[in-house]
Structures are given as structure tokens and as C-alpha cells.
Structure 1
Amino acid sequence: MRFSEKEPSRVISHIKKSKNLNVMCKIPVYCWITATILEYILNTDQRSELPKTLTDMYSYFLLVQTKRNKHKYQKGNETSPQELTDADREVLLKLGKLAFENLKTRNIIFYQEDLEECGLDVTEASLYSWVCKEIFKRECVIFQKPVYSFVHLSIQEFLAAVYMFHCHTNRKTEVLKEVLGEEYNETSLDVFLSKVMETSLQCKNGALDLFVRFLHGLTLESSQRLLVGLLSQTEKNPEAIQKIINNLKEMRRSQISPDRSINIFHCLTEMNDSSVFQEIQEFLKSQTKLSEIHCSALAYMLQMSEEVLDELDLQKFNTSDQGRHRLIPAVSNCRKALLKACQLLKTHCEVVASALKSDPSHLVELDMTGNKLHGSGLKFLSAGLSSPDCRLETLRLESCWLSDISSLVSALNSNPSHLRHLNLSHNDLENSGVKKLCDFLKNPHCLLETLRLQRCSLSEISCDYLLPAPQSNSSHLKHLDLSWNNLQDSGVKQLCVYLKTSDCRLETLRLWGCMLSETSCDYLFKALQSNSHLRELDLTVNNLQESHVKQLSELVDSPHHTLEVLKWKDP
């Protein structure tokens, strides 16, 4: 809307060439910044190369806003931006210091005393006119005090990065120790950036992620050229740049959340390094083992893809467990996520939960079988399942070392109408766990069709809890697997009470190894005479004889009954 005639096609084409810019422009403030810069360039110098990285974009934005407002207030003509003056440099570095000192604590609101501590004179008209009209602003008063802020947190992060880069090149060690620790000493650019990246990865909330991306982007000559006068004594050694890139590729942080680790790849993108993309394509073709940084890059590519991935199976990738962890963020852009036996940690459950809570959430099937989630991991996962945006239909949590499923039941009760298939087999739920699960089955909005509870340490008491639940709800349950639980004949007797009801819609019932005798066969035969839905009955590994199941076998042969499959012979 801000461009005329042929310009929109050039602008849109340029943005689509960069995944970073394309995604960012879906956020209003980034869209505004991008439009401001590209409009300025096209109006002043059509021959100028359009910014390609986020750092270049913000460098140009800082320069454009400073010079545009300066010309406006000084009644000058708008021309292509040149170098910043000493006066510009002084004020912007003071703003950078303010941004830097408040970034780690995520402080975004400032008062007069905060500005004065950084050497900013709030009485200077220049502070709110020609230097930073679109960078730093004064808000309405709170408790009769004026409040100041950057127009957006990303601008604060960019100015903080500029200030820190300036401090490094000018050897202001004491300032850098505030972030890097007291043990920090003057070092080369590549070592400096490695220490900053390590520090940022230790921040659990990702407070320094974008800041670090900007820092790496500022190593490029394009950004340094735009900000000449602000970034003095910069290093332009190609060997140092290559060392930085190599350090990023070799960085290993196995205990870091994978969605944070992907920021390493973002930093490579800011440095215009596309080698990881090319390596991934070759590795996938040749089945060569993927390194951790390649997995981060691949996860980023999958996340940014306009097409939703049908299936993400981590076991199909030739990589280490740490590499698979780096791939987990891609679950946000896939329909079916198979994360079986990947040694997932709580942090990985948080990433999956985030995908379940995203709007829109694409995940309809999630398999986390064989991971030691325990109660803590399940709690994080449940936060995603409870979201109204969660559309999950199939959930497999087999062999996840679960016992207390209170958080899961609570989550399913708050968002009950999507889940169709639930597998909690090989978890020590015991009778108390089934009793809690029944709270979900009783929910009038529960549409569960498949429930698998193999080897869950259940007894006949579990049937007392389990079966009244679907009876109190117009039952949708079609497949029930209670194999390898000590139900015995008394438990089956209770099951048969449910099978006889008109609400029962069970089509498959599996009772492998449940310590059953001929008595259970008698109970089942009587129940199935009045049941018109059950199609498959599995009684394998119960030490039954042919005479025990004779009547049930006759039901299979009868055209008047729906039972089609009867399994009883031990394998």
C-alpha cells in the first residue's frame, strides 16, 4: 500500500527471497520497519542494494530514521543517508547503553533518572526530534512522571548489540563483564562472540537471542558500512569471520532446549552463511550422518516451510540423540510427530507443548513412546493439551514412566472434544490412575474411541472404576485394550455388565494375559448374546482350552452375531 506502480512487485519479490524477512513481515512492527526502509531506498536511490538480513534492515532503519528526522527538523531535503555525525553517534551510543543495561532484566520502561544515568539529557529537544523520533519515545505520565521507551523491544535489542559491539572494538572490558562475567578479558572477535553466544544459551527465557543475532550480523561489512561513525575500529578480517562461522557450527549444547539451539542457525543466517543449507541437501541425499547444527538448520527449514509436513519421525534421521533434540521445534509445522525413544527432557516437552498451543496448531498425532517423562514432563505436555487451540486426535505415551496422571486428566477435561485415541500402556498407573482417568471418560464432551492400558498394574477393581464411566456418557469407545493386567474372572464379570448395556459400542476387546479361566468365557458368552457391536475378542495367553471357548467360537460362526474374530490360542 505504501508503494506505487511497479515497486510493490520488486519489494515483495525481494522479501520472499529471504525466509527471515518473509516471516518477520507477518508481524506488524517488522512490516512497518521493512516498508519504511524499502520505501526510503526506492524513493532516494533506486540503484542501492536492498537489505537482505535482519541486521542490515535494522542498520538501515537506524540510519534512515536519524537522517530523515534530522532533515525534517532542519528543513533540509531528503537524500540518501550518509554517515552519522559525531552528535548522532553520541546520542545513539547513550541510547545503546540504556538499551544494553536494561536488556538482560527485560526492562522496557524507563524514567528520567534512568536516562540521566546513561548521560542522556531529557531537556534537550534534539533527543525527541531529529535523532530518535521513531526510535525512542515519551509516553503519557504515570503517577505524574513521564515514561520513556523504545518504540519496540527489537529496536532496544539492536541498539544494545550496537553498543556492545562498540564496547568490544573499543576495548571497554568493564562494560562487557556485566554480561560475560568478571573472568572476561580482552579477546579476539571470534572468541568474544563465542562467549556471548554461550551466555545467551544459558538464559532460559531467550532474553538475549535476538540481541546475539544482531551482534553476529554486525560483523558483516554491509552493516558496518551503514553504521560507519557509530561502529569505530571494526574488524574486517575474513579469517576472523570464518572462525566465527566455524565456532557456531561446532557449538554443542545438549542440555539446551532445541528451540533455543536453533538461534545458532539464525546467527549463521545473519552472517549470510548458506553452507549449512547446501550441506543438509547433500547429507539427506547420501544418508550421511547429520551433525547437530545441521539438525538445527533442518528444523528451521521445516518450520519456515509454507507446506505443513505430514510426518516427522525422528528415528528416520541419521543423527545422534542430541541431533534429534534439535529437530523437535519442527513439530510446530507437522501433522504427525513421532518422537519415540529419543531421551526427551522436560525442555523438549515444553517445545511440544508450545506446538500444541500455537494458533493454528497442526498436530493431530503425537507419539512420545519410550521417553522417561515422569510427572514433570507430563505436566509440561499437559499445558499444551489443555489449550483451546490444541487439535490433537491421537496421543501415545506408552512406557513413559508415568504414575500420577492428574495433570493429563485435568488437561483432557478442559479440552475434551478432539482426542480420539489414547495409549497409556506400560505405565504404573495402578487402580488409582484408572479412577482419575474415568473423570475424563465421564465428560459429556469426551469422544474417545480407543483406549489402551496394557501392563498398567491394574486389578479387578479397575473394572469397577472403568466401566461405569462410559455408561454415564453416550459412549464413543470402540477399542479397549486391558491386556497384561491382573483382572481375573471377577474383573471380566464387571466388564460383561458393560458389554450388555445398550450404550456399549465396543468393537474390539483385548484381554491378553489377564489370568482368566473358563468362567470368564461363560461371562463373555452371555454378554455377547445381547451385544451387537463387538467384532474382535482377544483372549490370548490365558491358558484356555478349546472346550472353554466352544460357545464363543459358535458366535463367530453364527450369522446372527457380529463377532468375527476370536483369538485364544497362545502364540
Structure 2
Amino acid sequence: MVQDMHGSIWKLFLSSKHNPHSFHELIPTVCDLIESFKAMQASLELAAELKDVQQMHRETLKAQTETLRVNMFLMTEKVKAFPLVDRYAELTIIFTVRDREVVEHELLARGRDHEEWREELLGGELEKIRTDQLFQSFWARKSKSGSSTSVAGVPGIGKTTMVQKIVYDWATGKIFQQFQFIFSFKFRDLNTIKDRITLNELILDQYPYFRNILREVWKNPEGLLFIFDGLDEFKDPGNILKLLSEAHSTTDGRFEVFLRFVAGLASPGAAQGLEEFLGRFPQQTTCRVLDWVKEEVKRRAGNTWTKADKMSLLNTMHYIFESQNRALAQQTLGSVETLSFCGLELTPIDCAVLSHVIGLCDTIKHLDLEYCRIQCDGLQRLGPVLHQCQHLGLGGNRLGDSGVKLLSAALMNADCKIQRLGLQCVGLTDSGAEDLVSALSTNHSLTELELTENKLGDSGVKLVSAALRKPDCKIQKLWLDAVGLTYSGAQDLVSALSTNPSLTELDLGGNGLGDSGVKLVSAALRNPDCKIQRLGLWAVGLTDSGADDLASALSTNRSLTELKLGNNELGDSGVKLVSAGVRNSDCEIQRLWLDSINLTDSGLDDLASALSTRLSLLELELGSNSLTDRSVASLRRLILALPSLERIRLGRNRFSADGRNQLESLCGIRPGLSMEL
């Protein structure tokens, strides 16, 4: 049968080879063949234990739908029953979704008037589809949760009777056999439900024979068809609030189109445009929808720990956008200062929605959009509101030089409020750095800038250094980890360190500075005008040869309080030199990282002796070295000598179980001390 279907499709394509106009007309026919194959596959895959229930369900639906009841206004009998198949008149259904999408693009490109398009469309031939084609992939609107189709028409035209015929034809095996089960509900009946009810409970209320196998039914959602009839009759505002909450609680997004649609109905303009099809949307219901949106934003804004939480928050942003209600945005987000979508993929449409919503209120101070797969087109949609945020995280997105250029424009905005900007790993090069540097030279709000893991190179860092020397530059914290900096580029940077009065934190880790580059940095540290308090020099190729210059700087610098020297080949000899610098009374080191530096028990003795005089030491990192139980006694004495020590890391060394126990026992003597072994 599969081969026959493939052969039929191939013949159809061959027949249209010399007639390009017939290809579009063949698509529904091809869809028919594909749906027939799906129906055959669905019947073969149906689990044995479900077949009996399916047969019972077919019989139940057949009994419910085989009779058509007609109101007889001019006869003594008010209602008369007829066989459905004898009285059913096929409706003419036209397909307009694709036409609307095409016209939307035309309007954007040409600015054509909507009424002009409407007259043109109504004057032409509309595409007709059969009832059995309603849920084919060619006609239906697709989403992550499945496909959906909406049918609209004036009251009394026969939509409900059409639904009855669809259910009857499925029950008798005529159409839609790709669906294992069909569930049909009337909004008129939903109005009678007073309490909160789940979809499972709704199914079991009408079809109790699913009670023991409903879990199995849900395992194949592609084989389920839900029909909701009579949206214009759904009047109860209490029920719609329950329905909204229930739909929003699903995690697979199957009801998102519906929820955004309902939120859009809360917009007066949208509701008026749909009154012809759906009837008047009651004011009380509108208020219920708005209240529900408010509660959802309030509940979701402070809970973004998981990806599902962030997705729920993003959905609420879409609801606010659909409502087009400025007052609603201000009321719901007026107390929200942080929006975090870190790690959640955002489309350009999502970015446009966020831009619109943030633009309606000025309370968002922290916007975290790191690793959201935003590219230049998404950033362009966010552009109008980026300058409003104080903390802006965009790291891990493929912005490139063109994206950073857009961001630089936000930094040059006279009303820019950005204080902290995260641009790590965004594909920035020395070419794009020119625009950024131009913005840094004039911006008065930015104090923290992260440029880690961008291919700036020496030329790019040279540009950044020039900006740091500008008197208007207010940068206090700068991260330049792994940007391809070498000794050559360090010369320009060091010059800026000696003259910039605001820079207090600098991370240069992961760059190939070598001993010569560290020597330049050390010279800057000895300059009394240098205000650096935190310095990262991890994995820069530093050896014991370069440690001598660094030790000299440590012995005279009175501003440096944190120093990261991990992942360098210092060895015991290099640590001995650093220890000499730390021992000096002018040294103010409070946090020292010396992990992965080939430190042994011999080198620890010098370090412990020097650090024991640093009573202000708060944190010490000695992990991933070669320390053994020989160092336990020295470490215990050091810990007990430092009353302010808050944390010491000793993991991935060579202590025995007994050595670790001796060290851990100090935590009982020193409450508040954090020790990692």
C-alpha cells in the first residue's frame, strides 16, 4: 500500500510537469493521499488495549450525532428529528490564512491600503476546501504543540451542524481516521461548569469509560482531535478565567495561540474588529482577562529559575503585547525590576514583543538576555529600549560586529542608563570595536563592561585602551579574558592603567601575556596613580621568572585586594617570590587564587608563613596542586591564625582521608568557615 501511495504521488507530479499552473491545484490531492497513509498507520499502531475503548467511543459518538434536531417554528411540533445524512447540507469553506500572510508582506513592502486589498481579494475567486481537509497540514496552522484550524462564520449558517457531521463521519470510519480519538465539546455546556476543571476531568465527565486508559491515550497526542464549538456562546467570565489558568499551566505550549488570542480580545480595537464573527465580548469578561494577565505576570516575574519558568514569563509578555494596553503593562510591570530569559531561545518576534512591553514602562533595570540565540535582526528589534536598562546582559549571542554597532548606538543615546553591559562571546572583532570605543568615549553611565572571549586581538585592545584614557570614560570594571591579547597589546593597556582614575577591576586571564607582559602590568601596579583593586592574571603564561616583578609590585601597591594567578607555571620558586611580596606590610591582599600552579609541600611552607601575617585575608584558593598530608599542620596553623578567613579551597590535592578529616575538623572550631576538600 505504501508503494502504491508513492506511485500515485509520482504520477501526479509527472502529469503536472508540463502545466505549472496545475501544481498548486494538486497539493490538496497529494495531502489526501498522505492523510490516507497516516490513517492506515494510525490504525496499525493503535495499542490492543485501546481498540475496545475506541470501538465503544465510536458507537457512543455515532449514537449522539446520527440524529439532526431541527426547530420547527410554524408547526405544532417545536423540534423534529431527522437522520443527519438525509438533511445535512455541505458548507462551502474558503481558505484565507495564506492570502492574509501574503498581503501582510505586501502591506509592509508597499504600504498598500487595507481597504484596497480587501476589495481586490473579495473580487477574486477564493480557494475552497472540503470538510475532510480541514486538519490537513497544508491548511492547518502548525505550532510546536500540533496543528489547529479555526472556522468562522455568521451565526446560524451551520457551523455546529458541520461539527456534528465531522464527529459522525469519524465514528462511522469515513474521514479523519488518522486520529485515534475525537473529543467534541460545546462552549454552551462549558458555561454550566462552576468549579475549576482540568481537560482530563472534562473528558471523563462526558466519556467515563476512558477512566482507566486515559494516561495511555495521552501518550500519542498526534492521534487526538479536540473540537470546541460555539466560542461566541462562551459568556461566563468566571469560567474563562479558569480556562485561561488551566491552559497556561500546560508545559507543551498547546494552548498558547488560544491564550494570546483571548488576551488580544481584551484590546478594544481587536475586539471590535471581530464582533462580526464572534459577537460582542462582554466587558466583565474583558476585566477578568486583564486581571488574569496581571496575576500571571506577578507570579512569573520573580520565578525564572528553570527554562519552563522563563518560557511562562515570555508568554505573559506576549499577552501584554496582544492586549496593546499601556495601562496594563504599567500596572503589571510597575513593580518588576528584573527580567531574566538567560538560556531561552528568543526569536525576532519575541524580541519585538519584549521591546514593545519594556517600552511601555520604565521600571525594568536588569534585562538578562544571555545565551538566547539572539542575532542582529533580533537585536535590531530590541534597539529602541536597550538604553533604558541599567544592567544589560547580551553575552553568548551571535551579534557580530554589526550587532555591537547597533548596541553602540544605544550607548551614545543621551538618555542611556546602562551601567553594566555583558558582551562576552558575541563574535566581536577589532573591526567592530571601533564603534564600541567611540561610544565608550562619550558615554557617562557605563561603569562595567565584559568583553570576554571575543577576537579583539592586540589591535582591538589598543582601541579599548584609547577609550580608557579619555577623561569622560567612567569604566570601573573591565573583563578582557581570552581576547587574544599579547605583550604587544599590553603596552597600550598598561599606559591606560596608569592614567585612568576610575578603573578598579581588570581581568586579563586566558591571554598570552607571558612573563614580559606581566612585567608591564607589574610596572603599572607600582604607579601610585593606579587604582586597580581586583586583577585577574590566570592562565597568562606566567612563570617564576616573571614572578619577581609581580612580587615587587605587591610589596608597594596599597590598592590591590584580589589577585588571581591560577593556571600558571609558578612552581614552588615562583610562589616563594609571591610570598615575599605578600609578606610586606604595605600589601593589602584579601583574596588570593593560586590554583593549578604546581605548588608542593615545600612551597606551601613559605606561603603559609607569609600569609599568617595577613590578618585581613578573606579567601584563599589552593586547589589542583600537589599538597599532601605533610602540609596539613601548616594549613591548620594558618587557618587558626586568620580570624577573618571565610573560605579556603583545597580540593584536588593529595591528602589522605585522615588528612582531610584533620582539616575538616577546623570547621567546628571556626563557625562560618567554608572549606572545600
Normalised to the residue count of structure 2, the TM-score between the two structures is 0.44
Residue in structure 1 matched with residue 473 of structure 2 by the alignment: 446
Mapped to 2, the partners of 1:399 and 1:454 lie a distance apart of 10
Q: Return closer, same or farther for 1:352/1:475 CA change in 2, 3 Å cut-off.
A: farther
- Within the candidate set 543, 556, 562, 2:588 is matched to 562
- Within the candidate set 401, 420, 435, 2:447 is matched to 420
- Within the candidate set 119, 136, 139, 1:173 is matched to 119
C-alpha displacement at 1:567, in angstroms? 1.9
Mapped to 2, the partners of 1:453 and 1:262 lie a distance apart of 45
C-alpha displacement at 1:355, in angstroms? 1.3
Equivalent residues of 2:338, 2:365 under 8 A apart: yes
Structure 2: where are the runs of 5+ without partners? 1-106, 130-153, 155-229, 235-246, 248-254, 274-280, 301-307, 597-623, 625-677
Mapped to 2, the partners of 1:489 and 1:481 lie a distance apart of 16
Mapped to 1, the partners of 2:578 and 2:585 lie a distance apart of 13
Pair 1:431 & 2:458 matched: yes
Residue in structure 2 matched with residue 499 of structure 1 by the alignment: 525
Residue in structure 2 matched with residue 341 of structure 1 by the alignment: 371
Pair 1:466 & 2:493 matched: yes
Equivalent residues of 1:379, 1:407 under 8 A apart: yes
C-alpha displacement at 1:354, in angstroms? 1.2
C-alpha displacement at 1:250, in angstroms? 2.9
Mapped to 2, the partners of 1:532 and 1:549 lie a distance apart of 20
C-alpha displacement at 1:460, in angstroms? 1.1
Mapped to 2, the partners of 1:186 and 1:241 lie a distance apart of 28
TM-superposition CA deviations, 1:92-117 (whole Å, max 9, x none):
xxxxxxxxxxx97999xxxxxxxxxx
The count of aligned residue pairs is 344
Mapped to 2, the partners of 1:451 and 1:389 lie a distance apart of 23
Residue in structure 2 matched with residue 542 of structure 1 by the alignment: 568
Pair 1:376 & 2:402 matched: yes
C-alpha displacement at 1:382, in angstroms? 1.2
3-state SS of paired residue (1:380):
helix
Q: Return closer, same or farther for 1:329/1:559 CA change in 2, 3 Å cut-off.
A: farther
3-state SS of paired residue (1:549):
helix
% identical aligned pairs: 26
C-alpha displacement at 1:455, in angstroms? 1.0
Q: Which amino acid aligns with 1:349?
A: L
C-alpha displacement at 1:279, in angstroms? 5.5
TM-superposition CA deviations, 1:256-301 (whole Å, max 9, x none):
xxxxx99997864666656764664676659775397643124675
Residue in structure 2 matched with residue 250 of structure 1 by the alignment: 257
Q: Return closer, same or farther for 1:320/1:352 CA change in 2, 3 Å cut-off.
A: closer
Mapped to 1, the partners of 2:108 and 2:355 lie a distance apart of 27
Mapped to 2, the partners of 1:507 and 1:292 lie a distance apart of 39
Equivalent residues of 1:312, 1:331 under 8 A apart: no
Q: Which amino acid aligns with 1:421?
A: E
Equivalent residues of 2:563, 2:593 under 8 A apart: yes
TM-superposition CA deviations, 1:12-70 (whole Å, max 9, x none):
xxxxxxxxxxxxxxxxxxxxxxxxxxxxxxxxxxxxxxxxxxxxxxxxxxxxxxxxxxx
Equivalent residues of 2:259, 2:319 under 8 A apart: no
TM-superposition CA deviations, 1:458-488 (whole Å, max 9, x none):
11112112111243x4421111100001110
- Within the candidate set 282, 290, 302, 2:312 is matched to 290
Q: Which amino acid aligns with 1:341?
A: Y
Mapped to 2, the partners of 1:384 and 1:465 lie a distance apart of 27
Residue in structure 2 matched with residue 90 of structure 1 by the alignment: none
Residue in structure 2 matched with residue 228 of structure 1 by the alignment: none
Equivalent residues of 2:348, 2:378 under 8 A apart: no
The answer to which structure, 1 or 2, has the higher relative contact order (CA under 8 A, 6+ apart) is 1
Q: Return closer, same or farther for 1:302/1:520 CA change in 2, 3 Å cut-off.
A: farther
Equivalent residues of 2:544, 2:569 under 8 A apart: no
Equivalent residues of 2:395, 2:423 under 8 A apart: yes
Normalised to the residue count of structure 1, the TM-score between the two structures is 0.52
Residue in structure 1 matched with residue 84 of structure 2 by the alignment: none
Mapped to 2, the partners of 1:184 and 1:241 lie a distance apart of 32
RMSD: 4.4
Mapped to 1, the partners of 2:319 and 2:426 lie a distance apart of 29
- Within the candidate set 549, 554, 563, 1:528 is matched to 554
TM-superposition CA deviations, 1:198-233 (whole Å, max 9, x none):
xxxxxxxxxxxxxxxxxxxxx9xxxxxxxxxxxxxx
Residue in structure 2 matched with residue 411 of structure 1 by the alignment: 439
Structure 1: where are the runs of 5+ without partners? 1-102, 108-156, 189-218, 220-237, 254-260
C-alpha displacement at 1:351, in angstroms? 3.8
C-alpha displacement at 1:347, in angstroms? 3.3
- Within the candidate set 468, 478, 488, 2:514 is matched to 488
Equivalent residues of 2:555, 2:585 under 8 A apart: no
Equivalent residues of 2:426, 2:454 under 8 A apart: yes
Mapped to 2, the partners of 1:354 and 1:491 lie a distance apart of 41
- Within the candidate set 535, 538, 556, 1:512 is matched to 538
